[in-house]
Amino acid sequence: MGYYHYEVTDFLEDQYFKSWVLTPSQETCDFWNNFLLTHPEKAETIAGARAVLLGIRSEMEADFPTDGQVSAMLDEIHTRKSSASRWPMRRLWLRLGASLSAAAVVLLVIGWARQPNRHDSHVSYEELLSAVEAPLVEQTNTTTSPILLTLPDSSTIRLQPKSSVSYRKDFVRNALREVYLSGQAFFTVTKNRHRPFVVYSNELVTKVLGTSFMVKAFEDAKQVEVCVKTGKVSVFPRTDTEVCEGIASPELAGTIITPNQKVLFSREQTQLRKGLVDEPEILASAVLPAPLLKFQDMPVSVLLNNIEETYGIDIVYDHRLFGECLLTASFTTESLYEKMDLICKGIEASFEVIDGKMIVTGRGCN
Amino acid sequence: MLWQRFRQGDEEAFTLLYQRYVRVLYSYGKKLIADEAVVEDLVQDLFIDLWQSRSRLADAESPRFYLFRSLRRRIHKNCNGRFNERWDLIDEEFHPVALPKESEIIESEQTQKQKDELDAWLKSLPGRQYEVMMLRFYQDFSYSQISQILTINEQSVRNLVQRAVSKLRQLTISILSSGLFLFFLK
């Protein structure tokens, strides 16, 4: 063995050396003690390398969570992963193809029945503020370009011209992080499951745990708009008392929107409608696959599946008609809509956006 | 094996994966973010997301590498600009290596004290250098894997290790005279 000319880094890289330091056995101890006796000039180097390995290990272990923490976290993971399993849901959705329309009717009826009292009409920013008892901090953008504000919890607000936000002076100590908005703003919220972040704008309430999203709620506009860039956002009318009661809990109730989706709230009809944002973007996510850019004789189902995953949207189509169609093409900088146009041209189909989903229809290619 | 069982939706395999990696992941997160509640959340989100996207995960990938890379990205995303301030843009000169005074060490006969000096060296390493040392020599990731976790190129990873080790060399020379090397001959 050439250990006599090793430097610190060489020892650190050496598996046999490492196994002696971190998990010593009789055999490795004998070997290295013997080596040190015959090469005392390496003692310094070995001492250094050994100290590094042991030091890093003890540093890491010092920050290990307690057993209590480990099991508490696991419990929460189990509850949350089963309550938010959207992928199995979607597969079911596709399989049910035929009974779709029936389901839609049921949903419509439920939606209608759940609608709050209609005569309970407009709520203004001023009215919202007057209902708050604690002293408030208010910021108004009177310039002609957006301004960037930072909240005490490090969340940021990009406030558009002619818009105002207010929050309580004791923002940090309050159980909820509450912000009141008039106009348009983009929020980037730092994550804290224990203190939900809530935006009140006109009659609409938006609740998040940590994400980024835009709210557009001008006093004189007919509708309020919420678009999601990252994470998950829950939106509901102020009049939905059932949801409002659970506002401090980390559960997200009401209408949930995910990246690239938006919600339009009609102030006249106090009605929520889901849609897609004008220019959907590819999601930046650690676990999602890369978008397909070039493909040859690829089944359309694979391609649409990739688009669903990379944009985080749902595409509804008939697998029997389109699943086996083959496509050859390449994408460069096309937007989602342009990509869908190209695909649909290739399989002689058309698409439309309904309730935040893309619906592809046509005669198929058999 | 475990990974394949997990990908097929085996809850038990998922729990085993969690038990196996949660401690090191949490500890890694703690090194990058001080707030415990935030680290807990990020680690939980990581596993929830892992479960929900299990059917779309690649086969050959090492679970440990996969988890570390995802957690690092999450942390980066969650902290936006603030993260950079602390880790990426820190001028290394702000963290001078505190070399122990030689005379002090010769006087002390306790190996504990010398161990403390080395701990102090570790703690004084700039964040990135420490992170790379930890990933390479505690987690056994290859240089190419580390470069993917940190999204920097492989040569930069090697440079960071070299810089950390060269500081160590200065330190060991100064404490050698105290006979530190004897502590592992026991």
Question: What whole-number distance in Å separates Cα of residue B51 and Cα of residue A118?
Answer: 41
- CA dihedral sign of residues A163, B79, A247, B45: positive
Tokens 């004008």, residue located: A278
Task: Answer whether B119 sits within 8 Å of A48, measured CB to CB.
Answer: no
pLDDT at B32: 84
Contact A168, A136 (CB under 8 A): yes
Question: What whole-number distance in Å separates Cα of residue B165 and Cα of residue B171?
Answer: 10
Residues of A in contact with B24 (CB under 8 A): 60, 64
Residue A280 reports pLDDT greater than 60: yes
> The tokens of A110 are what?
């439920």
For B23, nearest residue in chain A (alpha carbons): A64
Task: Answer whether A44 sits within 8 Å of B41, measured CB to CB.
Answer: no
pLDDT at B82: 46
pLDDT at A269: 79
- Residue A146's contacts (CB-CB under 8 Å, 6 or more residues apart) are A158, A159, A160, A161
Q: Which of A56, A286, A309 sits opposite B70 (nearest CB)?
A: A286
**What is the DSSP code string of A102-160?**
HHHHHHHHHHHHHPPPTTS----HHHHHHT--S-EEEEEE-SSS-EEEE-TTS-EEEEP
Mean pLDDT over the full length of chain A = 80
Q: Which of A36, A81, A194 sits opposite B51 (nearest CB)?
A: A81
Residue B18 reports pLDDT greater than 90: yes
Q: Which carries the bigger pLDDT value, residue B32 or residue B57? A: B32
pLDDT at B173: 56
Model confidence, pTM = 0.47
pLDDT tier for residue A166 given thresholds of 50, 70 and 90: very high
pLDDT at A108: 43
Task: Answer whether A288 sits within 8 Å of B137, measured CB to CB.
Answer: no
Mean pLDDT over the full length of chain B = 73
> The tokens of A191 are what?
């994550």
Q: Which of A60, A73, A309 sits opposite B138 (nearest CB)?
A: A60
Question: What whole-number distance in Å separates Cα of residue B26 and Cα of residue B36?
Answer: 9
**Dihedral Cα B10, B11, B15, B16, nearest 10 deg:** -30
pLDDT at A243: 74
pLDDT at B80: 54
Task: Answer whether A287 sits within 8 Å of B69, measured CB to CB.
Answer: no
> The tokens of A108 are what?
């419509």
Residue B160, min C-alpha distance to chain A (Å): 12
pLDDT tier for residue B117 given thresholds of 50, 70 and 90: low
What is the pLDDT averaged over residues B16-24?
92
Residue B73, min C-alpha distance to chain A (Å): 6
User: Beta strands A197-201 and A177-188: pairing type?
Assistant: parallel
Burial class (CB in 10 A: 0-12, 13-18, 19+), B48: buried
Percentage of chain A lying above the pLDDT 70 cut = 87
Count Cα atoms within 13 angstroms, Cβ side, for A35.
20
Among residues B165, B75, B27, the alpha carbon closest in space to that of A70 is found at B27
Phi, psi of A228 (to 5 degrees): -105, 135
pLDDT digits (tens, 9 = 90+) for B64-100: 888 999 899 888 877 654 443 344 433 333 333 333 3
pLDDT at B94: 33
pLDDT tier for residue A94 given thresholds of 50, 70 and 90: very low
Residue A102 reports pLDDT greater than 70: no
> The tokens of A120 are what?
């309970």
Q: Which carries the bigger pLDDT value, residue A60 or residue A253? A: A60
Q: Which of B41, B49, B134 sits opposite A287 (nearest CB)?
A: B49
Tokens 């330190």, residue located: B171
Task: Answer whether B41 sits within 8 Å of A63, measured CB to CB.
Answer: no
Task: Answer whether A63 sits within 8 Å of B31, measured CB to CB.
Answer: yes
> The tokens of B182 are what?
């004897």
Single-letter residue type at B92? E
Residue B92: which H helix or E strand, with range? Answer: none
Residue A109 reports pLDDT greater than 70: no
Residue A95 reports pLDDT greater than 50: no
pLDDT digits (tens, 9 = 90+) for A210-235: 788 889 888 888 888 898 888 788 88
CA angle A66, A70, A73 (to 5 degrees): 135
Least confident span in A291-300, A315-324, B71-80, B98-107: B98-107
Contact A212, A188 (CB under 8 A): yes
What is the pLDDT averaged over residues A75-100?
56
What is the pLDDT averaged over residues B107-122?
59
Task: Answer whether B57 sits within 8 Å of A230, measured CB to CB.
Answer: no
- CA dihedral sign of residues B38, B43, B44, B50: positive
Task: Answer whether B80 sits within 8 Å of A81, measured CB to CB.
Answer: no
Tell me the residues of chain A between 60 and 99 that have a Cβ less than 8 Å away from chain B. Answer: 60-65, 69-70, 73-74, 76-77, 80-81, 84-87
Residue B22 reports pLDDT greater than 90: yes
Q: Is A43 on the interface with B (CB under 8 A)?
A: yes
Among residues B6, B98, B183, B147, the alpha carbon closest in space to that of A81 is found at B6
pLDDT at B46: 92
pLDDT at A246: 74
Question: What whole-number distance in Å separates Cα of residue A171 and Cα of residue A137?
Answer: 9
Among residues A203, A157, A211, the alpha carbon closest in space to that of A179 is found at A157
Percentage of chain B lying above the pLDDT 70 cut = 66
Least confident span in A242-251, B22-31, B33-42: A242-251
For A65, nearest residue in chain B (alpha carbons): B23
Rounded (10°) angle between helices A15-22 and A26-38: 110
Residues of A in contact with B169 (CB under 8 A): 8, 48
Least confident span in A81-95, A267-281, A284-298: A81-95
Helix (H/G/I), strand (E/B), else coil: A322: helix
Strand partners, A237: A204
Which whole-number Å values give the CA distances from B78 to A39, A283, A306, B42, in the listed order?
50, 15, 25, 9
Question: What whole-number distance in Å separates Cα of residue A163 and Cα of residue A307?
Answer: 36
Residue A213, min C-alpha distance to chain B (Å): 14
pLDDT at B76: 81
pLDDT digits (tens, 9 = 90+) for A134-158: 888 888 998 888 899 988 888 889 9
State the best of B7, B38, B51 to mutate against chain A, taking most chain A CBs within 10 Å. B51
Contact A278, A216 (CB under 8 A): no
Residues of B in contact with A28 (CB under 8 A): none
Instruction: Please count the residue pairs, one from chain A and one from chain B, whose beta carbons lie less than 8 angstroms apart.
Output: 146
pLDDT at A97: 40
Q: Which carries the bigger pLDDT value, residue A181 or residue A296? A: A181
> The tokens of A322 are what?
């389109």
What is the pLDDT averaged over residues A150-176?
88
Residue B5, min C-alpha distance to chain A (Å): 17
pLDDT digits (tens, 9 = 90+) for B23-32: 999 999 988 8
Residue B148, min C-alpha distance to chain A (Å): 12
Q: What is the CA radius of gyration of chain B?
A: 20
Residue A331 reports pLDDT greater than 60: yes
pLDDT digits (tens, 9 = 90+) for A14-29: 888 998 998 888 888 8
Tokens 């990509």, residue located: A339
Task: Answer whether B136 sits within 8 Å of A52, measured CB to CB.
Answer: no
